[in-house]
Amino acid sequence: MTLFNQERMVYVGNEKGLKAGNGFHYYNPDQVVNGKKMSEWLKFSVAYWHTMDQRLVDPFGDGTAQRPWDNIEDPMEQALAKVDYLFEFLDKMNVEYFAFHDRDLAPEGNTLRETNQNLDIVVDKIVAKMQETGKKVLWNTSSLFTNPRFVAGGATAPFADIFAYSAAQIKHSLEIAKRVNSESYVFWGGREGYESLLNTDMKLEQDHIAKFFRLAKDYANEIGYTGQFLLEPKPKEPTSHQYDTDAATTIAFLKTYGLEKDFKLNLEGNHAYLAGHTYEHEVRVARDAGLLGSLDANMGDKLIGWDIDEFPNDIYEATLVMYEMLKNGGLPTGGLNFDSKPRRQSFDMQDLFFAHAAGMDTYAAGLLVANKLIEDRVFEDVLDDRYSSFKTGIGADFEAGKVTFKDFENYIIDKPQSELIAATKSGHLEQLKSTLNNYIYTVLGR
Ligand code: XUL
Ligand code: CO
């Protein structure tokens, strides 16, 4: 069985030409960057739901892609064949990890018991393939949003039976996480939000989902599953108001309910756009809180208002996100999961291959540039200078906790405007952006 007429992807650099398609141009897995191999910094992961299951639908049209396994009529046979294709794809792409929802893997039955039985058959095969190949699961998750029973949410549903179903479904998913040794376990609250306050008890729903998360963690502890729990923020789509709107909201939720020791964040590029933030902003917020877990590496489109899950190709964004990742000391239990799909007009099987390569090269290039920026202390020196007035005088006294509002008043009250203006400095942003561009050109031009 072969997916592509393509050879296994290896690093070729740019010596044989600049046109993409014949190997990685920047992703060189064994190249050492700041003491670690690129493959250790960049734990790339293939998303089962996109790469195996997506047919490239958009909100106005059916899928355009046809996959070879679509021709297998029996749903379980098809589900089992997809596992073979996935492992071949991982091997050809030289990607070590994958990620999945429970429902990506196998068809549902009429009861949860039947559904679990279908799922377990496929998981058995996945476990065997993992042992054979050494491939790993970055994270798994559970779909509490696709089936109509989740019309009003799963863990925030106003219906106790649906809440019960959700809890039982996650229980089984955690058992799978233990079996496949997932490095993290993700919750994306697809329908955990609301459309209108007119029929929503927001406080009750949030209390419920917080208790749900606590029960999930308790069960993980009970069965000895030690992967990192992650919440994945998104501001809207499908509900108008998702409870996990952005990194800051999600951190506030975790702290409100005392869950911050057990959860970190999985941050996605396109979700940041939808929240009106840059990707690097979201990653910075999580890093500053010590809660950066993993990255769903994709990007949005400023011209389109919905979540398009585009494969990353923006070197500027990738550089700034990799800067945050390096400053975080890496992502101990996380990686870069391509929650991404080719464009609707890129429907060939080969496009799956090109799309992943584009994403991997973009982040590899971003890593190289970010590492050089840090080596040269480009932003660090700027920040040291910009905040230097807090290192001496009144600023240092304030930092040491020695200054009251009265002291500030005494200190400042007679200073003339000219001295206050003299205390400010230019931010030199254009020069700094030009420096950033120079680093991108120069590091990648080598
Ligand atoms: C949806 C999304 C999900 C999560 C996993 O926008 O990002 O695919 O990553 O449920
Ligand atoms: Co995602």
Per-residue model confidence as pLDDT tens digits over 207-231: 999 999 999 999 999 999 999 999 9
Which atom of ligand 1 is nearest to 296's Cα? 9
Which atom of ligand 1 is nearest to 307's Cα? 6
Burial of 173: CB neighbours in 10 Å, binned 0-12, 13-18, 19+? buried
How far does the centroid of ligand 1 lie from the alpha carbon of residue 356, in Å? 17
The per-residue pLDDT for 67 is 95
Catalytic center residues: 101, 104
For the chain, what is the mean pLDDT?
97
Indicate whether 4 pLDDT > 70.
Answer: no
Neighbours of 178 (CB within 10 A): 15
Which atom of ligand 1 is nearest to 237's Cα? 6
- Is the CB of residue 337 less than 8 Å from the CB of residue 45? yes
Mean pLDDT of 345-359: 96
Per-residue confidence band for 7, with pLDDT thresholds at 50, 70 and 90: confident
Determine the residue of 46, 105, 268 to mutate for testing ligand 1's pocket, defined as the one with the most ligand atoms within 8 A of the Cβ atom.
Answer: 268
Which atom of ligand 1 is nearest to 266's Cα? 9
Distance separating alpha carbons of residues 201 and 179, to the nearest angstrom: 37
- Is the CB of residue 182 less than 8 Å from the CB of residue 139? yes
Distance separating alpha carbons of residues 420 and 353, to the nearest angstrom: 58
The per-residue pLDDT for 308 is 97
How far does the centroid of ligand 1 lie from the alpha carbon of residue 35, in Å? 32
Give the pLDDT confidence of 247-296 residue by residue, as tens digits: 999 999 999 999 999 999 999 999 999 999 999 999 999 999 999 999 99
Give the pLDDT confidence of 382-432 residue by residue, as tens digits: 999 999 999 999 999 999 999 999 999 999 999 999 999 999 999 999 999
The per-residue pLDDT for 16 is 84
**E strand or H helix that includes residue 295:** strand 292-296
How far does the centroid of ligand 2 lie from the alpha carbon of residue 27, in Å? 23
Give the pLDDT confidence of 54-69 residue by residue, as tens digits: 999 999 999 999 999 9
Residues with CB under 6 A from ligand 1: 101, 141, 186, 188, 232, 234, 268, 296, 307, 339
Give the pLDDT confidence of 75-117 residue by residue, as tens digits: 999 999 999 999 999 999 999 999 999 999 999 999 999 999 9
Distance separating alpha carbons of residues 369 and 239, to the nearest angstrom: 38
Residue 48 DSSP SS3: helix
Q: Which ligand is nearest to the CA of 188?
A: 1
How far does the centroid of ligand 2 lie from the alpha carbon of residue 129, in Å? 25
Percent of the chain residues past pLDDT 90, beyond the cut:
96
Distance separating alpha carbons of residues 317 and 65, to the nearest angstrom: 29
Mean pLDDT of 20-26: 89
How far does the centroid of ligand 1 lie from the alpha carbon of residue 126, in Å? 21
Determine the residue of 232, 242, 309 to mutate for testing ligand 1's pocket, defined as the one with the most ligand atoms within 8 A of the Cβ atom.
Answer: 232
Query: Which residues are documented as binding site for Mg(2+)?
Result: 232, 268, 271, 296, 307, 309, 339
The per-residue pLDDT for 328 is 98
The per-residue pLDDT for 94 is 97
Q: Which ligand is nearest to the CA of 146?
A: 1
Neighbours of 16 (CB within 10 A): 10
Query: Which residues are documented as binding site?
Result: 232, 268, 271, 296, 307, 309, 339
Indicate whether 302 pLDDT > 80.
Answer: yes
Indicate whether 1 pLDDT > 80.
Answer: no
Distance separating alpha carbons of residues 192 and 237, to the nearest angstrom: 11
Which atom of ligand 1 is nearest to 186's Cα? 5
Tell me, rounded to whole angstroms, the distance of Cα 443 from its chain centroid.
26
The per-residue pLDDT for 3 is 63
Distance separating alpha carbons of residues 45 and 335, to the nearest angstrom: 7
Determine the residue of 166, 173, 234 to mutate for testing ligand 1's pocket, defined as the one with the most ligand atoms within 8 A of the Cβ atom.
Answer: 234
- Is the CB of residue 317 less than 8 Å from the CB of residue 311? no
How far does the centroid of ligand 2 lie from the alpha carbon of residue 43, in Å? 16
The per-residue pLDDT for 21 is 80
Q: Which ligand is nearest to the CA of 99?
A: 1
The per-residue pLDDT for 6 is 74
- Is the CB of residue 43 less than 8 Å from the CB of residue 336? yes
Considering only residues 364 and 22, tell me which one the structure prediction assigns the higher pLDDT. Answer: 364
**pTM summary value:** 0.97
Strands 193-194, 241-242: pairing is: antiparallel
Name residues with Cβ closer than 5 Å to ligand 2, which is an ion: 268, 296, 339
